[in-house]
Amino acid sequence: PHFNKAYCAATGIEAGMQTYCGGELRLGAEFEQDKNYLIGLAPHGLWTMCYHLLWPQMLRRFGITCLVVGADILLKIPFFKRHFAAYGVLGSSRRDVSWALQQRFPFNVTVIVTGGIAEMFYGISREQIILRKR
Protein backbone atom coordinates (compact mmCIF):
# COMPACT_ATOMS: atom_id res chain seq x y z
CA PRO A 1 0.00 0.00 0.00
CA HIS A 2 1.11 3.50 -0.69
CA PHE A 3 0.44 6.48 1.55
CA ASN A 4 2.67 9.53 1.38
CA LYS A 5 2.46 11.11 4.85
CA ALA A 6 4.46 14.21 3.90
CA TYR A 7 2.34 14.92 0.82
CA CYS A 8 -0.91 14.31 2.69
CA ALA A 9 0.15 16.55 5.56
CA ALA A 10 1.04 19.32 3.10
CA THR A 11 -2.19 19.02 1.09
CA GLY A 12 -4.56 18.05 3.89
CA ILE A 13 -7.28 20.48 4.84
CA GLU A 14 -8.15 19.27 8.34
CA ALA A 15 -7.47 22.65 9.99
CA GLY A 16 -9.53 24.48 7.36
CA MET A 17 -12.40 22.04 7.76
CA GLN A 18 -12.38 22.62 11.51
CA THR A 19 -12.06 26.41 11.52
CA TYR A 20 -13.74 27.60 8.33
CA CYS A 21 -16.45 24.95 8.03
CA GLY A 22 -16.84 24.02 11.68
CA GLY A 23 -16.07 20.42 10.74
CA GLU A 24 -15.92 17.91 13.54
CA LEU A 25 -15.13 14.22 13.61
CA ARG A 26 -16.94 12.23 16.26
CA LEU A 27 -15.11 8.96 16.26
CA GLY A 28 -16.47 6.76 19.01
CA ALA A 29 -14.88 3.51 17.89
CA GLU A 30 -11.61 2.07 19.09
CA PHE A 31 -9.68 0.37 16.31
CA GLU A 32 -7.57 -2.67 17.10
CA GLN A 33 -4.43 -3.61 15.23
CA ASP A 34 -5.34 -7.28 14.78
CA LYS A 35 -8.77 -6.65 13.17
CA ASN A 36 -9.84 -5.36 9.77
CA TYR A 37 -12.46 -2.64 9.37
CA LEU A 38 -14.60 -1.19 6.61
CA ILE A 39 -15.75 2.43 7.03
CA GLY A 40 -18.49 3.91 4.84
CA LEU A 41 -18.50 7.69 4.33
CA ALA A 42 -21.43 9.76 3.08
CA PRO A 43 -22.37 11.90 1.34
CA HIS A 44 -20.07 11.51 -1.63
CA GLY A 45 -20.26 14.92 -3.27
CA LEU A 46 -17.76 16.06 -5.85
CA TRP A 47 -15.01 15.81 -3.25
CA THR A 48 -15.42 13.77 -0.08
CA MET A 49 -14.38 16.49 2.31
CA CYS A 50 -15.11 14.48 5.46
CA TYR A 51 -12.19 12.17 4.63
CA HIS A 52 -9.85 15.06 5.48
CA LEU A 53 -11.16 14.92 9.03
CA LEU A 54 -10.89 11.13 9.23
CA TRP A 55 -7.41 10.21 7.99
CA PRO A 56 -5.39 12.48 10.31
CA GLN A 57 -7.30 11.20 13.35
CA MET A 58 -6.82 7.58 12.34
CA LEU A 59 -3.10 8.17 11.96
CA ARG A 60 -2.65 10.15 15.19
CA ARG A 61 -4.89 8.10 17.48
CA PHE A 62 -4.35 4.58 16.17
CA GLY A 63 -1.32 4.66 13.87
CA ILE A 64 -3.60 3.45 11.07
CA THR A 65 -3.24 4.48 7.47
CA CYS A 66 -6.58 4.01 5.71
CA LEU A 67 -6.92 2.53 2.26
CA VAL A 68 -9.63 4.24 0.22
CA VAL A 69 -11.74 2.66 -2.51
CA GLY A 70 -12.10 5.07 -5.43
CA ALA A 71 -13.28 5.13 -9.01
CA ASP A 72 -10.79 3.36 -11.26
CA ILE A 73 -10.70 6.35 -13.61
CA LEU A 74 -9.01 8.45 -10.87
CA LEU A 75 -5.99 6.18 -11.11
CA LYS A 76 -5.68 6.47 -14.88
CA ILE A 77 -5.42 10.26 -15.28
CA PRO A 78 -1.75 11.26 -14.68
CA PHE A 79 -2.13 14.12 -12.14
CA PHE A 80 -5.04 12.50 -10.32
CA LYS A 81 -3.25 9.17 -10.22
CA ARG A 82 -0.33 10.62 -8.23
CA HIS A 83 -2.55 12.67 -5.94
CA PHE A 84 -5.02 9.93 -5.07
CA ALA A 85 -2.37 7.21 -4.83
CA ALA A 86 -0.57 9.37 -2.25
CA TYR A 87 -3.76 9.26 -0.16
CA GLY A 88 -3.94 5.47 -0.35
CA VAL A 89 -6.68 5.30 -2.98
CA LEU A 90 -7.06 2.05 -4.87
CA GLY A 91 -9.46 0.92 -7.56
CA SER A 92 -12.97 -0.29 -6.93
CA SER A 93 -12.65 -3.69 -8.59
CA ARG A 94 -13.61 -6.77 -6.63
CA ARG A 95 -9.96 -7.80 -6.64
CA ASP A 96 -8.72 -4.47 -5.24
CA VAL A 97 -11.39 -4.28 -2.53
CA SER A 98 -10.83 -7.90 -1.48
CA TRP A 99 -7.11 -7.23 -1.27
CA ALA A 100 -7.62 -4.08 0.82
CA LEU A 101 -9.91 -5.85 3.29
CA GLN A 102 -7.16 -8.39 4.03
CA GLN A 103 -4.31 -5.99 4.81
CA ARG A 104 -2.62 -6.05 8.18
CA PHE A 105 -1.90 -3.10 10.46
CA PRO A 106 -1.26 -0.24 9.72
CA PHE A 107 -3.41 -0.66 6.58
CA ASN A 108 -6.24 -2.60 8.26
CA VAL A 109 -8.95 0.02 7.65
CA THR A 110 -10.62 0.34 4.26
CA VAL A 111 -12.79 3.36 3.49
CA ILE A 112 -15.54 3.35 0.88
CA VAL A 113 -17.58 6.39 -0.07
CA THR A 114 -21.17 5.42 -0.72
CA GLY A 115 -23.10 6.93 -3.60
CA GLY A 116 -20.27 6.90 -6.12
CA ILE A 117 -20.16 8.84 -9.35
CA ALA A 118 -23.96 9.09 -9.57
CA GLU A 119 -24.05 11.13 -6.37
CA MET A 120 -21.07 13.35 -7.17
CA PHE A 121 -22.96 15.84 -9.30
CA TYR A 122 -26.23 16.29 -7.41
CA GLY A 123 -25.13 19.39 -5.52
CA ILE A 124 -26.77 21.11 -2.61
CA SER A 125 -30.23 21.55 -4.14
CA ARG A 126 -30.57 17.84 -4.90
CA GLU A 127 -28.75 16.03 -2.11
CA GLN A 128 -29.27 12.28 -2.19
CA ILE A 129 -27.41 9.34 -0.77
CA ILE A 130 -27.55 6.29 -3.00
CA LEU A 131 -26.78 3.13 -1.09
CA ARG A 132 -28.20 0.62 -3.55
CA LYS A 133 -29.40 1.36 -7.04
CA ARG A 134 -29.83 -2.18 -8.34
pLDDT at 64: 96
* Chain segment 100-116, per-residue pLDDT in tens: 999 999 999 999 988 76
Q: What are phi and psi of 40, to 5 degrees?
A: -105, 125
CA dihedral in degrees (128, 129, 130, 131; nearest 10)?
-160
Residue 37 has pLDDT above 70, yes or no: yes
Identity at 9, one-letter amino acid code: A
* Residue that wins the pLDDT comparison between 48 and 34: 34
pLDDT at 38: 96
In the chain the first and final C-alpha atoms are separated, in Å, by 31
CA-based angle 102:82:62, to the nearest 5?
Answer: 45
pLDDT at 10: 87
Residue 89 has pLDDT above 70, yes or no: yes
Q: How far is CA 37 from the centre of its chain?
A: 13
* Chain segment 49-83, per-residue pLDDT in tens: 788 889 999 999 999 999 999 888 888 999 989 98
